[in-house]
Structure 1
Amino acid sequence: MDSLVIKQHHSWKQLSDGYLSRTPLFQFILVSLIFPLWGAAASLNDILITQFKSVFLLNDTATAFVQSAFYGGYFLIAIPASLIIKKNSYKFAIMTGLLFYIVGCSMFFPASHLATYSMFLVAIFAIAVGLSFLETSCDTYSSMLGPKKSANMRLNISQTLVPLGDITGIILGKYLIFGSVGNLQAKMSVMHGAERIAYGEKMLQLTLMPYKYILIVLVAILVIFALTPMPRAKAAETGKQEEAKPGLSETIRYLSHNKRYMKGVMAQFFYAGVQTAVWSFTIRLALNLNSHITDSAASTFMIYSYIVWFVGKLVANFFLARYSITKVLTWFSALGTLCLVVSFTVPSMLAVYAAIMTSFFFGPEWPTIYAHTLDAITEKKYTETGGAIIVMALIGGAIIPAIQGAVSDISGSMQFSFIVSAIGYLIITLYFYFEYRFDKAHPELVQEH
């Protein structure tokens, strides 16, 4: 059986494996436009880390709690989100995510007035809950919105928009949060008592500004999404309800015995951690290596990072369409590792530019690991939960930056701490190298070409 009942008023045909006969362009664009929304939230964290360190007198380990709250939300909610997708629809899960995102952004209003680090972390966690729903649903949904043979390419196209959100977020932070403050840490280091507290509270008020604009966009997207008919994009039930919707324990048992799937989850864990750590501390690295630049000027390095990340995605898409996916990613990962070696060994601003160049090689990593790992699930009834667990691997974004922050505090060198990211990227390189060897030995199992 190749398809389900065809609805004549739709231009697509729903196939029994969950994919579509063709890609509905408007719906695909609408889903893809959600991708930059979580990019904006993630890049603003890099701004908040620098802001909070100065205002709350935090060490590098404590600043990493911003990412811990953010990616901890992903980890805790991914499975519940997948269960909601299984019982309802991708559309319902996406709208739920948008609502949580709206709530989280709204919480910056009281957080900026209460002026406590913990309240900001709660707001960031609430945003992450929404983003966990969005990524758990949108990553899989994007790959399903069309023929199976182009699933990886669709996800890479959608993910190509994420850097645009990151660039928007960092620009909003650069001008609305950092503004014309200069070097906040240097300025506040000479303040004491009530003067310091009052100035710190004034600076925290600035953190609210970017989220006002994000809220407007979120509400608009939510309304459009609610009014748009969306494909179901789920595998057909076989007539046996227990086969169509397996229990969580059965799914976990199947996935945990799938070695290639578990290796992919491990790779995603390290990738999420490395990307987050590099981006979290690039601004701090620049400020440490050149104490004369301002916070706003240092944040410009992150704009460069997101631009080369975007370019890296475009270049990767060119190679991924023509060569072995695992071979391309092996080279990208190896060259990214080399850049990070330069970042922690060369005692000059060249280390910052090497960290920026690493973002070029980040380009194809997340969507390719995601789709490649999802392809390792041969029983598609486990797809929703399998995708959720890959999203849960984003907990690496909470753990590895904390480790890198601790290494910075212990060694007294932010630059040396980049060795943590270099080791993580080396592990990813080895993953793709062995996957490439597996693909060469078993060409009949390669689904991506």
Structure 2
Amino acid sequence: MNTISASGTDVPSAEVADYPMPRAAGCPFDPPPALRTLQAEAPISRVRLWDGSAPWLVTRYEDVRALLADPRISSESTHPHYPHQTPAMKERRRQSRTFITMDDPEHARLRRMVTAAFAIKHVEALRPAVQKIVDDLIDAMLTRPKPVDLVQAFALPVPSLVICGLLGVPYADHDFFQANSKILVKTTTTPEQARAATQRLIDYLDRLVGDKLTHPADDLLSMLAERVRVGELSRREAANMGMLLLIAGHETTANMIALGTLALLQHPDQLARVRGSDDPKPIASAVEELLRYLTIVHSGRRRVALADIEVGGVTIHAGEGVVLANDIGNRDPAVFPDPDRLDVERNPRHHVAFGFGIHQCLGQPLARLELQVVYSTLYRRIPTLRLAVDLDQIPFKHDGTVYGVYELPITW
């Protein structure tokens, strides 16, 4: 019998499914059907990754949330059995380590340096500026010949402009950093391509940090440069952190804007509820439901067990890799009734789209604010917004580590 190795344990290969798994044809918003089957029948089971390793896949919401908060579960990407998403992602993390793949105390030391910039009070003060960005981009879009690609005209520029302003990165360089970010979030990228793109971005951020050392401003890179000046950070650490914030700050939100719009267009009753409300609470509820329903980080949160852990009747042994499938966790019927239904009045604030525990997404207050402004403005200002092509002509990012669409042709 053929076997594969799971951190020293031989597992019959015939019993292990490949991961990630394909979505069903015609169901682009739903997790793969095989995940739903595992959640119901074998919620903690082995899966096979690209490198032949067989980490544990955890699919039930309560187990995902519990393990994300468990100090016996490590985010350390240098661990020999860390379940990397792709060969390119493994190379990128080797080349540019950031706090999201570190454990405490180093994780806490580095994360603490940028936490204040993403605090709810500080982010909320950005709302008027974000509103102006959104309105200006809609104004410009309305002057263009139709159809318009919502991704390039709106979804990508909104978070790019916001994160550039927050970091102190010139938006004029957006073609450069967006092109290199696109390379890094594709599952088909080779390690060599990832290494080159990562180095280009690190060199770019390093130059910016150097500029902030001599010409500081009121931005996050200047704050990091000051940490370098007083010896709390190396320039490489500051550049790595800047790269992380720049990529994460525009890629994820851009995909949520476009994919969320497409989901609403496919559910006109839900779109009508969003468009018809000028109350911030229903809009905030809609944002949370779209985050739950779509969960665009669709290849799981990756971890390694530091000790034997008993969960769901299964023992995960020390040293074994763990993939926490938050996409199917957010569709767990034990927690979210009728989970495959998009219901913008559900308000599932306890979803795990941003993760959970000490490594939950640092930028979630900013992402929430941007999505609230977008969803409360775009459909109200363009009430006849509709797709310019059939759904089956939309190119989905099945080859992305962050799910979304490459293009979204719209008209009105």
TM-score normalised by the chain length of structure 2: 0.28
The structure richer in helix per residue is: 1
TM-score normalised by the chain length of structure 1: 0.26
